[in-house]
Structure 1
């Protein structure tokens, strides 16, 4: 099971301030350095700079958060103090410095609570939710995100509300609740469309791609990921690029295009290394290792998995540690090293059961079953396969039914064989004494066998009926999910077309308005009329922005000539003709010396 990112869950759930990439940093720096500016203006500039740099360099954002904390504490401005703590905690979380993150975010929450700031509380809770998710505390993470949504609705900040919907959608998608996830993404997309915010637009498209990935609709997943990459990288949000590269690699891996998958994983890992984001590096390293395993290259996988395990332990990423143990167990399994494989997979299974992580539990049992078979421990193999069947059934995957039946029949056969062998030995020793008892036991065993066969046939028939029913339900659910996703994509296209049409209409209107300024410039100024005709006035009111009507005056040798002209056409065509006609009047008088109306015309 590979790691993947929903709108860069490392960043999207952390960032409740998606600022524009074209931020005017010079202006903000000047505001911060301007000692004559008010304290609020200076701290606001520093706060905005810190939020912006979070996208590009968490290290820089962390340093700015420390500076903001010092200044806000000196001035006694609690709101900025709390925001500095939120930025400090989130950047530390990204950088893997998690020892004090919980206390920092808790202090930020308390300050915002005292200030009765709903938006601030939502912001702090988003950070706490991600922290608990990294710690493997899923229920606490869900509680934090749900509370954040309530405060975000009260806060009056649409961007924060959209961010919270995306974070909740990410959580539910990661835990298999795709319909709930889709509802949250649609809410976020509606808000982002109204805001014309490129970050949220790209994040929504990326999240849709992840849902298509989970539904194994590879073409639609690739289209959404590539579209999201164009939107976010084009807008300058480089922090999202490695997440998208990782998700593209997952799609290729799901299609067994191992070389393409590894290429994208390595690109993501290199970008995260450059950005000093160890959490992303861990996911990329383990994904590379798993892909080499699927490719049948366990020795090449081993180094990547061990490096990922080291980073996961360093950051105390318990989910990744469990995943790495499963991958290492798979490596041992390929080498027929069953005992270390069992030990590692069992540790991962215990963690997964504590946290109710179905996917991890399924992966662990997939390793344990063949490992127990390899050691000849049939009882544990049966128990593991039974657990695997239960897990797969809970996530609408019924492929293990036949495996379970095969194991039951094989174990029954082994037990019958053992009983028969013991019975034969006993008969050899006490044949004369127990002859009648043997016949009685034979009859009893025959009856039991017949009953077992009848019971097995009934159970098998019920399995078949249940399998068909669940398969139909799963197909219908998949059709509904794909229809909802298709409708969301169509709405996105309509909204985009509307925005393009509005932009083009504005460009045309601006051009015509500028043409009006040009046409006004060729009309004689009012002072010229007053000079030539002291007792005069001008009433000029075109029907459209530009017009085919114009007036003209000229004073030559004491003579005053005035013309009011109506040219062919209206609007833009008429305005073009008026330019030609005005030029003709000028030439007739100035170049050809015409002074009478007839000659001028």
Structure 2
């Protein structure tokens, strides 16, 4: 189930939403054509850029025109203003690297010109970019810089906005107490200023804090306060968001009737506004609530309404989401054919619009549905497509970010070159004027004045030389600073990409664990034939190279096996899946019940599997150690065969060790596909004999005060102790506690598996 979409209230202080009014644009264009190239024309270019804000390419064309004219006139305040507005354009279109480049330029020029209010605005907006990127430490640093400037020059409205957004960052970092403190400080200023809209927004954010700590009563209290103010201000769009949040909290409290009341109110306002896309989203939310109410008929009705609107307005993105939502509904209802139909509809729509992120989710859902249908081939095929899409998204984002860094570097260098050319021209003009004055003075004045002029000229040259050297050094330092900034941003982006890649790999391994767990025999199946047993499995990584196997031919003939595959983690898990599959083939399908013959066939087939490389060579390390027991219940006999692994039998407080053959299964025997294994027949006393099969991970674990291996001798003592405990649940706990206490804080070196049972 997808869940209700949740709304928060953010303050952006210096940002206003840009709207595209064709009449305003036409009038600005007409006026612009009549203006001379001066500051008024710069202002018009900036206004046109903002009016075209939704069309980034056109907006940037006018912004570049404003910047070019500002540089031509060498008017630094307008250069600063244009960089700031250009940064906002990039920010509103999520081009964060280019936004930061322009905003940092805006901040430096504002500091140079001592424009305090502009410094605060630039620092505040830089903080907003870092917040959206998830770089919270930098965001807090620049919010605090803006806050100090606002405090120093008594900008109370800006101070309130900074406090609010600092609280927001702390909320994103789950520091709810700190976040609440900042929200309350911001609210106090808004109340002093009589800013009702700001007060309403503050109530929303304080409610979010209480919602996050699951104090739903307090959250409702503050959101209802916000609702009253929004209704007084007739701010329908703000009312919609508050109603949506109230619906979410009542849904969380399982008060679905109240949740529906608020969602229906939200729907009514959206219908009044005429926002069909928002109406479609609300239909989906209402459908989700009906799903939670176990009312599938009404849920499906609202999901279909959402699809209908999305089809009418050709909102293919919303259509894809709605189809996937209905697929999730049918999956919950266990109608897998219907679920597959809608999932495939959503998948095809995602392909059509090129929405890679949704396409990835669609492949994953199709894979999960096929898995539930036990169609493992299609489940695996779609999961591979999901994984390939994940990789392609990563590669695309990675190349885009590198291109952005390169563009930023080239743009800043070009701006520096233009600035240097303008400075050289000013210096040349000043030099020419001074030479003219000296010439006139030479004609009018006496030789004495000429000597004084000569001295002054020489001093001027010395001063100019010194100034030129200082200017050059400053340029070198500035360039080095810019290069360091670019390198830092590149490192941040690279770290983010690596973290994202690691999450994708971890998700894939977790999915592999689900597949591996599904291959293990269920406890309910085992307990039908063995009443008293325990299984203790502690993988070194997420997935395990150790596995256990159980099969009942009938109530009198049972098979139990424990295997320790080469390696651990993903390689070991793959080998465990091969071993599991081959045991099913040999015993279940081919009905081979002799334990020594089973191991010989398992050895031969694993050697065949692991030799399937391009050269036809056999790996000498891939394989497994295994013990398999056939339990003849009718005759109270055990038939045990082992490959480089021992079994332990405890009867009448006596421990018997059954050693297996010295060979391993697979690569340990190298090319000896005809290796022979022996079966040992052991009689047992019914209901008083405990059997323990285990891998070598427990005895090989380093730990204790001297950081030594646990060793087989200590393991045998533990087995004897466990056999005296009242239940097998207590035995499992004793094994787990002993292992964890021995290991302590040291790293686990191998997978650990113990299968203990009574016959």
Structure 1 length as normaliser, TM-score? 0.48
Identify, as 1 or 2, the structure richer in helix.
1
Structure 2 length as normaliser, TM-score? 0.40
